[in-house]
Structure formats: C-alpha cells, structure tokens
C-alpha cells in the first residue's frame, strides 16, 4: 500500500504543527510544507539587540486562558521544550495598564465605581435573540454599558488587535464572550461553567491540571514565553520535522515556494503548481495561509464554489487584515516607576 501524501500550504506555526502531528500519527506518510517566506512568519519573528536582548517583532508571548492555550503547552511538552518555557511574574502580570490619554491601572478604584454596577448586573440581562454576529462595541454596550465599551473595550481592541471595537467582530475576536452568552446566557456565569465543561472534554494534547508545566505557568500569571524567544518553538518544530525519530519519514520543507494554482488531476487527487515549475501531487492538501491568499489561490485555480450568497473566494477576500508596527525599546537601566510595572495596552 502506497504511503499517503500530504501537502501543507503555509510554513507558519499552525502549518508546522500540523505537519509534525501528521508525521507523528502517520510515520510513513510523505509530508511536504510549502512556505512562501521564512518558517514561522508572520506571527513569530525573534531577533537579538545590540546587547543580545531578546526582541520580538511578532507575538510576544502565549497566554494560558483557553483550550488552545492548554493544548499549546501540550505541544511544548511533546517537543520536549519544558526547560525552555519562561513563565511570567505573577505580581507584574496581574498589573494591567491602559494608556488612553494617560497611563491608568486597570481595574483601578475609578473603574470599580464607574463600571462595577453594570458588570454585577450582567447576568441579569437576557441573551441576544440574534444567533449571528455583532461588533465588540455593540456587544459590550448591550451586556454592560456604553461607557465600559468606550473606555475599556475600545482601548483593548486598538492596543491588542489594532482595530476599532465598532468594526471588529465579537464572535471572531472574543469567541468565548460570544459563546458564553449564547449557551449560558451570561458572560461571567458562562466563564465558570465552560471552564468545567472544557476540562471534561479536553483533547489528548491538553495537559492534566496537576501537570508540573501547567502548574508553573498558571502560578506565574498564565503568560509564558521562551528563554530565547518564541522562535524557539519554530526551531524545535523544524528540527523534529527534518530529523524525526527512527522509522519516521522526514518532512520536505520548501521555503520561498510561490504557489501558482491548485487543480485536480485525472485521478481526482489535488495537484499544486508552483511558479518555478515544480508540481506536487498529494492525497490531501491542507491550507494554513491567510484567508486572502487562499481566496486568490482558489480564484486563480477555478476551484471556487458558492457559499450562501457569495462565492468562497469572495468570502475569503472580504476578510481584511490590519498592518501593525512593532517597536522595541531598550534602556540602559530600569526607568519604570514601581507602580507602572506590568502589562500596558496603548490606544492610538
């Protein structure tokens, strides 16, 4: 029986992780990863400063707040990276600040007085009868107050997601909030109940509650990174894909692969055509690229089909991205005041 062939479009963290899990589950499979640029891009980009400081141009850390966060820790244990995990400082990570005209601690006494009553009343409001979507601003206004949406939700959206709360989808950007209301009728009550239910339905990758790695990260404020930066994860995935355990086929990692078309062959199997003339026929093609890039590929390939009132390519191309600039500042000595240490979101 011939070994199955897989082709993964995209060499980001999700594409590399998919390749490693396929390699682990099907040791004899032929796995090819096509990356248009460097591995890990664009989410992970670690560099070194003049004095060997770790500078992140992409994601700065991972957060243990949901099922994906717990499964990410399971992936790290699978890659044997426990010793490289650097958990946050519980005291510093608990101090959250928002720069909105001035730096202010959140929640501060003024936030408790202004927004506390609305938040306490949140479980009393009926759930929305709409099962579709709405903006983050509309959702927070409906479940709490317009003031909370303006002075807390909007700065968080602008600082962390580089978008306007009135334009961002709550279902996409904050799925747990939307899910908790739809299923449990309340954001806060749903958070407690969904945590219990999620643990019961945890996947094989999620760590046990008593696992030492999970306990160490949870005790450190639930934020973690790596001693040498997040590129450690990309490097470990690349190493294990290229040098797997005995009896497992090494993956084929192709960088600077510009995909031209995706088309079916006479046998019904998909074939990927690169612009340099390289062709790859596989049993299964897995897309791990940005929606707009996938939409353009489907349109060029003539593989479009209708989804509701739009074609799939039009639906994918309608998903817009925001450009974000990352600036790293390094100082010769500690210049922060004691009360300003912690995590800060900047609203621009």
Q: Do β-strands 223-226 and 62-63 pair in parallel, antiparallel, or remain unpaired? A: antiparallel
CATH class, 93-206 region: mainly alpha
Q: Is the dihedral of CA 206, 209, 213, 216 positive or negative?
A: positive
Residue 300 CB-half CA count within 13 A: 14
Nearest to 4 by CA among 33, 26, 20, 34: 26
Please tell me the predicted confidence (pLDDT) of residue 37.
87
Q: What is the pLDDT of residues 137-162, one digit of tens each?
A: 999 999 999 988 988 888 888 877 87
Q: Are 171 and 178 in contact (CB under 8 A)?
A: yes
Q: Is the bond preceding residue 135 a cis peptide, omega within 30 degrees?
A: no
- Name the percent of the chain lying above pLDDT 90: 41
Q: Splitting the chain (348 residues) into consecutive groups of 10 residues, what average pLDDT does each group show? A: 91 95 95 93 86 84 70 92 88 73 76 83 83 89 91 84 89 88 87 72 80 87 87 95 95 94 90 93 95 93 83 88 78 72 64
- Residue 238: predicted pLDDT: 97
Quote the pLDDT of residue 51.
85
CATH for the stretch 5-58+232-317: 3.50.50.60
| String of DSSP letters for 76-119 | HHHTT-GGGEEEPPHHHHT-EEEESSSEEEES-HHHHHHHHHHH
Instruction: Kindly write down the DSSP assignment for every residue of 316-332, as one continuous string.
Output: HHT-------------S
How far does CA 99 lie from the centroid of its chain? 24
What is the domain partition of the chain in residue ranges? 5-58+232-317, 93-206
* Residue pair 14/45 in contact by the 8 Å Cβ criterion: no
């Amino acid at each position: 029986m011939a070994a199955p062939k897989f082709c993964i479009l995209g060499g980001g963290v999700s594409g590399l992780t998919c390749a490693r899990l396929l390699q682990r589950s099907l040791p004899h499979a032929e796995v090819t990863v096509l990356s248009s640029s460097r591995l890990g891009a664009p989410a992970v980009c670690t560099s070194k400063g003049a004095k060997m400081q770790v500078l992140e141009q992409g994601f700065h850390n991972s957060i243990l707040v949901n099922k994906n966060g717990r499964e990410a820790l399971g992936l790290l244990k699978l890659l044997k990276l426990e010793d490289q995990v650097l958990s946050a400082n519980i005291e510093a990570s608990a101090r959250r600040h928002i720069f909105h005209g001035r730096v202010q601690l959140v929640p501060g006494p003024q936030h408790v007085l202004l927004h506390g009553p609305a938040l306490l009343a949140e479980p009393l409001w009926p759930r929305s009868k709409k099962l579709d979507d709405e903006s983050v601003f509309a959702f927070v206004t409906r479940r709490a107050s317009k003031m909370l949406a303006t002075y807390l939700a909007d700065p968080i959206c602008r600082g962390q997601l580089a978008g306007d709360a009135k334009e961002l989808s709550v279902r996409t950007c904050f799925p747990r909030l939307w899910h908790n209301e739809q299923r449990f009728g309340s954001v806060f009550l749903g958070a407690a109940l969904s945590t219990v239910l999620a643990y019961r339905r945890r996947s094989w990758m999620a760590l046990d509650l008593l696992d030492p790695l999970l306990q160490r990260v949870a005790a450190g404020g639930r934020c973690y990174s790596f001693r040498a930066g997040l590129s450690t994860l990309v490097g470990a995935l690349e190493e294990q894909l290229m040098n797997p355990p005995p009896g497992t086929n090494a993956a084929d990692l192709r960088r600077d692969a510009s995909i031209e078309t995706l088309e079916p062959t006479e046998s019904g199997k998909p074939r990927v055509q690169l612009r340099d003339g390289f062709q790859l026929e596989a049993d299964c093609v897995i897309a791990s690229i940005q929606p707009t890039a996938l939409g353009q590929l489907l349109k060029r390939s003539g593989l479009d089909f209708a989804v509701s009132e739009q074609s799939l390519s039009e639906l994918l191309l309608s998903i817009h991205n925001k450009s974000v600039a990352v600036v790293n500042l390094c100082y010769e000595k500690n210049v922060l005041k004691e009360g300003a240490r912690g995590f800060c979101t900047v609203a621009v």
